[in-house]
Amino acid sequence: MATTPSIKVFGLCGSLRRGSLNAAALRAARELAPPGMEIAIFEGLREIPPYDDDLRQQGYPPPVQALRDAIKAADAVLIATPEYNYSVPGVLKNAIDWASRPPEQPFDGKPVAIMGASPGAIGTARAQYHLRQSFVFLNAFVLNRPEVMIGQATSRFDAEGRLTDEKTRDFVQSQLVALKDWTERLRG
């Protein structure tokens, strides 16, 4: 019996906060991943320095190189983003800016799914749409549906950061199934 090749997903949280709802959403995604999908969550966002092209000209700093290598090695990317001031958090945008510089920009042709959790009602919709704009330029293939915007997220996670709301768990799982299918179709 043939086994389905595993899809390796690079998970990136756009928040540095220890109790981040978006980090909790990524952990839930890792737990809910369909068979044949593995999600590795990047833990080095805090170490990424502010983007500086003079520094880049000297070579990528080790945390940035680790980020680029992890994205390149993955079959797909899953980003969980908060929304700050109606847009993408600076630390997430900074990491994307670093990772996307030449040579061999690792988002090119890569399937990407975006999710977000927020205490507010619309669950990071504006930040997600801004990320989509960036990924158009980077030639990444963003999954269109389902969009996962976890509004009023404080009521959907318990005190330990576990996603307890069944409808939301089902929605996250449906996005992961769609990401797996999307990645397999893009592999050709």
Give the pLDDT confidence of 76-114 residue by residue, as tens digits. 999 999 999 999 999 999 999 999 999 999 999 999 999
Is residue 2 included in any domain, yes or no?
no
Count of CB atoms situated within 10 Å of the CB of 29: 26
Tens digit of each residue's pLDDT (9 = 90 or more) over 19-71: 999 999 999 999 999 999 999 999 999 999 999 999 999 999 999 999 999 99
Is residue 161 included in any domain, yes or no?
yes
What pTM did the predictor assign? 0.96
Q: Residue 59 sits in which domain range?
A: 7-187
Give Cα separations from 180 to 75, 99, 143 (angstroms): 9, 23, 10
Is residue 80 included in any domain, yes or no?
yes
CATH number at residue 89: 3.40.50.360
Euclidean distance between CA atoms 60 and 57, whole angstroms = 8
Is residue 1 included in any domain, yes or no?
no
Tens digit of each residue's pLDDT (9 = 90 or more) over 123-159: 999 999 999 999 999 999 999 999 999 999 999 999 9
Q: How many domains does the chain have?
A: 1
Q: What is the CA radius of gyration of the chain?
A: 16
Q: Is the pLDDT of residue 1 over 60?
A: no
Percent of the chain with pLDDT over 70: 97
Is residue 182 included in any domain, yes or no?
yes
pLDDT of residue 4: 56
Cβ neighbors of 62 (< 8 A, separation 6 or more) are none
Average pLDDT, the chain: 96
Is residue 35 included in any domain, yes or no?
yes
pLDDT of residue 162: 97
